[in-house]
Amino acid sequence: MRRSTSTAVVTGGAGFVGSWLCQRLLADGHEVWCIDSLVTGRRDNIAHLLPDPCFTFVEADVCEPFDVPGDVDLVLHLASPASPVHYLRMPIETLQVGSTGTTNALDLAERKQARFLMASTSEVYGDPLEHPQRETYWGNVNPVGPRSVYDEAKRFSEALTTAYRDHRGVDTVIARLFNTYGPRMAHQDGRVVPTFVHQALLGEPLTVAGDGSQTRSLCFVEDTVEGLLRLAASGERGPVNIGNDRELTVLEIAEVVKEITGSDSPIEFIDLPTDDPKVRRPDISRAEELLGWRPRTPVRDGLSRTVAWMAAERAEAASA
């Protein structure tokens, strides 16, 4: 049996990014406790990890106080609805996990004297007036708009994480993630990549909001996980942007997905959602300087892997 070098707790560990993070931590020789309510996470995401004796899954809501036995070296807090479909359906729950859930995760890190990483989001920048977005930018967020439940939950989480560091001495760091994509994303979660891939595989029109000129910066999930772990292992307090500084329009992403899938689906333009960001591109100079990190996976390669996974999942579901 492999001997673990340290113990990590991952909240939201059965989610998209969380499951990849658990997988990488196990591969690196750590003992991993995965905490997830399975409200948006999926047991299928971690099914291949369950036989590992160094992996423990606990189905629990982080909005309730929770604990794990023994020493803990690292708490990585990823629990939260992250897609528009989910946080618009569960606005109050999203705010609660950003406030009460973050408090409980920070309390665990304080009790265990563990390093704490808060997985925040580029959404704290809102519809940015600064481009590209640097960590020093305060953002342009509508506090009462439909997206505010997610934006403000993460902004509060950042403030709370900072307060625990400054006033309670907890060793914390904040990461701001930009447009992570890859296998294990829910097919219909409302984010641009799974939406386009799902539509293309079904031969449905690819629904591009507005005129498609708004931009996104896609970062493959394995690159995101590498950035998170380098940040966790550093002595930095953040925030630090973790994302791809290559910018694509939404229309360009749709065209690449059509090409990779071989789909003849038409492009269909729909109304732009309220408060939809017009641009999104991180300045990652801090991550490069402090962590020696930048994304390695070309977007076309990452999209090809995502398409292959979603196609296989769709075929498996059809045969079942």
Give the strand pairing for 7-11 and 74-77: parallel
Give the Cα separation of 256 and 275 in Å (integer).
Answer: 25
DSSP letters spanning 275-317: T--S---B--HHHHHHH-----S-HHHHHHHHHHHHHHHHHHH
The SS3 assignment for 267 reads strand
> 10 Å Cβ neighbour count for 284?
25
Cβ pair 280, 217 in contact under 8 A: yes
- The H-or-E segment that residue 122 falls in is none
Question: Which of the residues 87, 125, 137, 150 is marked catalytic?
Answer: 150
Active site residue 181: no
At 280, the amino acid letter reads: R
- Catalytic residue ranges: 150
